Each structure stands twice: as structure tokens, then as C-alpha cells.
Structure 1
Amino acid sequence: MTALTATACGSTGTHTRADGTLSFTVAVVEPDLTTVPILAALDAVRAQGHEVDVVELAAPELAVEGLAKGHYAISAEATGPALSAIEQGAPIRIIADAVGNQWALYGKPSIASCDDLGGRPFGIFSEGAVATAIAKDWVGSACEGGVRPRYLTIGGSDVRAQALVSGEIDATPLEVSDAVSLESSGASGFTKVVDFAETLPDLHPQTVYANSGFLDEHRAVAQEFVSALVREHARITADPRRLVALARTHLPAQDAADVGRAARRYSDAKLFDAAALTPHNVQRTIDFFARAGVIGQGMTARDAADLGFVEEAS
């Protein structure tokens, strides 16, 4: 057994081993295709001799809570809960992009615009979900005369895609992979009502964040991880077959054909770019979540993010 000694930032659940390498834990939330490059980057960190445990959680709020308490060193998922925790003083900083704004609103053929949604069943994951905030922001700006859909909380993107097919809902925001699954299911007539990447080009709803103590005490290892993630994203954008190959290792239960189609979508849209964060788009992301009521006004990009890692990796 490898001997462990607690570091000065032992509260992060990170330990320095006898040979100088680290042992730490990373939390991922309901792993999907967007998680695969992160898992591959962690393999690159392991190749440097570090021990990295990965735990799977059901909600980003759990990951953020674990980061704040020091149980996890790094996590990645919805940006909103991380910003909310930072606002409350949690020792968390955003360090890279997980995936660009991949959300789009899909609906039945009868729905061509926001005004067609009045009183119609509209699927959301939860009131606090990032896709809900995006959708409600669009409804507030695009619907005329106070038109509003009837929001139904029914589950994740994949569950909502099935609810759309079954007729339980008339519209819902979907991620790229679930939109691909919807299309390949044989269901017909569903249309992309709005692409939120076009209406909110500076929004980064899914990011990578870390415990500040871990970043302060083990900056070199954090840099290894971010640099590896930047490389993986670049490889996937250059050749989507890279994502397909990685998915066979990290998500073997995924349908290979759907993975291939989704990988091409991610590549064509250049949604994987861990180094895409800038002071400008981080601030615009903060401003969006403030407008959505997730956080209050006044937070700055400097408060929320440490962009030195992506700048070093670029």
C-alpha cells in the first residue's frame, strides 16, 4: 500500500503520497458524452503518476457542495450552481469550459415560434436547471403579450426527449446527444424552434470548476489536467472519431451510431473548446445568471474564475 501524508490543504481531500504524487477525487454528474473528454484528461493526469478517484453524482448541486466542503478537488457541470456557491463565499473557482452552449428548443410541428407555446406543456428538468433558465429567458424576451407555456418538471434531457415523442409535452430544450437520439428514433415532424447557441453566443452553461485550496496548493497538477483537457477537445474537434473511440472506453453502453452522429455535431459546431473562456464571456455568463435570478448583481469574472490555467494551456 502506498503511504499517504496529508498536505496543508488536507481539507480538499487531497493527499501527497510518499513519492510526491497526489491522490485526489473528482466528481462527475450523470456522465454523458460531454464528460468523456474530462475522463480522458484525468487518464492523462494518472499517466503522470497521480491517483485520481472519480465519483458519480446525481446533481450538480451535490458536486458543488462537495467541492465547497473539500470532499472533491475538481468537478464539471452546470455553471449556475457553482456561481451561486461562489456568491455565498464557497472556495470554488471556474477553471475551464466543459462544453459550449449546446442547448436548443425542440417542439412539435405546430410550434414555429414562442407565440405558439401559450398554455402548451413544456418539459423542464427542474426550476433550478440551466436549461430551464435559458428557456425562460427566451420565453420572456421572445413571447408577445404575456404568452407563457405550461411548465412540467419531468426529468433529464433524455427523459424529456422521450416525453416529446410520446406526446406528453409539446416542446423542451435538449442537449446535442439527446436531439440526435430523438432524430434517430424514427420519430418525425419535430423541429428545432430555436438554437440557444445563436441567441446566447457568450453563454457558457457547463464549465469545469475546482476547490480553491486545491488550486492554490497543487497548481501544477491542476494545470496538467486543464492542459490535457484542452488537448482532448482540440483532437475531438479536428476528428470526431476521437470522441467515438473515447466513448467506447468510458461510456461503453452508449449506442455507437448515435455517438458517431453526436460527435460530428459537436465537432462541426466547435462546442468542445476548454480554453474558450475569456473575461468577457465569463462576465456575460455571470450577467445571464444574474438576470435569470440565480445569483444577485455585482459578481465579476475575477470573483468567479481563474483563467490562468486556460491561458497557460492555449
Structure 2
Amino acid sequence: MHLKRLAALAVMSALAACGVRGTETHPDGTLSFSVAVTEPDITTVPILAAVDAVRQAGHRVEVVELAEPELAIGGLAEGAYAISAEATSPALSAIEQEAPIKIIADAIGNQWAIYGSSKLTCDDLDGRPFGIYSRGAVATAMTEEWVRTQCTGGREPEYLTIGGSDVRAQALVAGEIDATALELADVVALERSGGSAFAQVVDFGRTLPDLRPQTVYANADFLTEHREVAQLFVSALVREHAKINADPRHLVGLVAKYLPEEDPDDVADIAARSVKAGLYDAAGLTERNVQATIDFFVRAGVIEPGMTAKDATDLSFIRAAA
């Protein structure tokens, strides 16, 4: 995600905000509205299951698939979409520009970690090729903070912009880079490709446990005008996460239903590790960890100081769901 583009988009979105124009109330009291998702993957399927629960209550919900979270943020601010879930930083950028958006639940915890060609220290990576998605990506921000705090004497790696996690994992296998930050699914794929000799350098889920890189957010007017339906969605999402934590096979089943092209063996491994790491906890969002997330993105230069968790969130829905 590119910070200048995000800032410009957030300003335009705030100026374009015009209520919940994408929502229609029917004579029987049911609603029609849209939920935006970005390139659905294993982290998205509990949200799709929650959408189905809302549909079962009689509401008509369209799921719109988008290529980038910025597009979802723009649609949320304009009222074209009621709910979305993806990267937290563009939502915070839009909120900073007074776009009518509120973070309402956690999507998935911090699953990022740096993997290297061997067990490396930060200093070992000085001047060495390190694969990143972009300079504005959240994984890059985590990496840069780790470098600032852990490398000595101004040492830092040579950052190479390569692309998605899967491409960077392949570059690591090919020896084109010495290290990169990966999500859990790509770690599993790396290991299954014969990359088990590679080692975890740092687990950001442990070093930055309060950082919430991916959250669920909604149009603020939708939350006000259609509170019961918003609550229905959040409660359903909290239930889905609880089912996953009770039995990782529930996540495997959701992926088989919504993303049948995924390898079931990979999914089973990812699900087990996700539950062990406590990644699925929609109701685990608190003012404390939201403020820690805001503070991180201030340090990363994504937003200016001054925003509070109360500015960015409406946690009443997860409190009611719990």
C-alpha cells in the first residue's frame, strides 16, 4: 500500500461521503447492502460465513470482490459498501481525514514473521537482499521498526521490491534474497516446496502482539441507521471465530465451501497453526490494542499523532456479541 496514494484517496473519500447510498430498506424491514472483500483468501472465509448468517435472517447481501483495500475504503466512505475487512492502515488514513468509517472487529491477528535462508540476526542482514512488497506495506513497516530497534550502528538490509508473499517466498527458495516477511499461508507453502531449511528470524506476532494489521470496518452511518443488522453480522463473525478455535477443522470446512480450489492439506496445516497462535479472535479488539495499532502506524509515518482508539472504533458490537 502506497502512503501518498492512500492519503489522497482518504481525502477524496471523505469529501465524497454521502451516507449509506448503497443500502436499501424493503417493506418487510429487511435490507439490501454490499460487503466488500479484497482478494478473498483463508482469512476471509469467516467473514463470508457471517455474511451467509445475515442472509439467512432474510437480508440481501452482495459480496463485492476488489483488488485493493483502498477501493473498499473509498466505497465505504461514499456509502456504496456497508462493511469491509482488510488492511487497517488505509482505514486509519481515511478516518484521519474524517471519512465516516469505524473499525468494529478484528479480522485476524498479526500473522507476519521474517524468514531467512538461515537463522540470522538483524546485523547479519546488513547490506543483504531483503524482499518486500512495497515501501508502504505494513510488513515493511514492521521490518523497518525491527531494523531500527535491533540492528546496531545503523546497519540495515538492502530492500528489494519484489511483489506478493508467494513471489517473495519463491525468491527466498531460489536464493535471490536472504530474507523476507511472510504470512502464515506462505510459510506453509514454503515448507511444502522443500524450503524447510529456512528459519524464522523474528515472529512479529510475538514482538508486536497488540498490532492489528487486518480488521473489520464499516460505514459509520450504516452502523447508526441499521444497528440490528450490523450486530447480526458481528455476532455471527464472533461465533465463526469461536467455532474455529474450538476445532480448526471448522476453518478447513469453511475454506472448502468458499475457496474450494485451495489445497486441503495446506489448509489443515494453516488452520491448526492459526488456532495455536490465537489468530482468530474477532472479539479480541480492545481500546488498548487499537491504540497500540494507531501508535505503530504513527511511528511508521502512515498517520499523524493525535488519533485515539475512540476516534477510530465502535467496539460496542463486539462487547454485545461477547
TM-score category, normalised to shorter length: over 0.9
CA contact (8 A) 1:12 1:73 kept: no
Does residue 152 (structure 1) correspond to residue 160 (structure 2)? The answer is: yes
What is the correspondence of 1:111-260 to structure 2 with a 5 Å cutoff? 111-260=119-268
Deviation at 1:26, TM superposition (A): 0.8
State the Cα distance separating 1:185 from its structure 2 match.
1.2
Is the 1:12–1:214 Cα contact (8 Å) retained in structure 2? no
SS of match in other structure, 1:123 = strand
Q: Which blocks of at least 5 consecutive residues in structure 1 are unaligned?
A: 1-8
Q: Distance in 1 between matches of 2:62 and 2:206?
A: 37
Preserved contact between residue 106 and residue 190 of structure 1 (Cα < 8 Å):
yes
Amino acid at match of 1:66: G
CA distance in structure 2 between the partners assigned to 1:169 and 1:56 by the alignment: 32
1:154 deviates by 1.6
Give aligned pairs, total.
Answer: 305
Residue 105 in structure 1 maps to residue 114 in structure 2: yes
Query: Given that residues 105 and 194 in structure 1 are in contact (C-alpha distance below 8 angstroms), is that contact kept between their aligned partners in structure 2?
Result: yes
- 1:232-251, CA deviations, whole angstroms, 9 ceiling, x for partnerless residues? 00100110000001100111
Counterpart position of 2:55: 46
- How far the C-alpha of 1:20 sits from its partner, in A, is 1.2
3-state SS of 2:85 partner: strand
Hey, what does 1:13 align to over in structure 2? 22
CA distance in 2, matches of 1:94, 1:12: 20
How much does 1:12 deviate?
A: 3.8
Instruction: Kindly state the Cα deviation for residue 11 of structure 1 after the two structures are TM-superposed.
Output: 3.5
Deviation at 1:187, TM superposition (A): 2.1
For residues 123 and 84 of structure 1, the distance between their equivalents in structure 2, rounded to whole angstroms, comes to 25
Match of 1:278 in 2: 286
* Percent identity of paired positions between Structure 1 and Structure 2: 69
- Ranges in structure 2 where 5+ consecutive residues have no aligned partner: 1-17
294, 299, 302: which is aligned to 1:294? 302
- Of 95, 109, 121 in structure 2, the residue corresponding to residue 86 of structure 1 is 95
**Cα offsets for 1:17-61 (capped at 9, x unmatched):** 232111111111111111011111111111001111111111111
CA distance in 2, matches of 1:306, 1:185: 42
**How far apart, in 1, do the equivalents of 2:301 and 2:19 lie?**
34
Confirm or deny: 8 A CA contact 2:104 2:313 kept in the other structure.
yes
Looking at structure 1, the residues matched to 116 and 206 of structure 2 have their Cα atoms a distance apart, in angstroms, of 17
Return the alpha-carbon distance in structure 1 between the equivalents of residues 161 and 152 of structure 2.
Answer: 24
Q: CA deviation at 1:10?
A: 5.8
Normalised TM-score (structure 2): 0.92
AA paired with 1:304? A
Q: Deviations over 1:281-311 (max 9, x none)?
A: 1111111110111100000000000000110
CA distance in 2, matches of 1:20, 1:163: 53
What is the alpha-carbon root mean square deviation over aligned residues?
1.2
Give the alignment's TM-score, normalised by structure 1: 0.95
Specify the alignment match of 1:35 in structure 2: 44
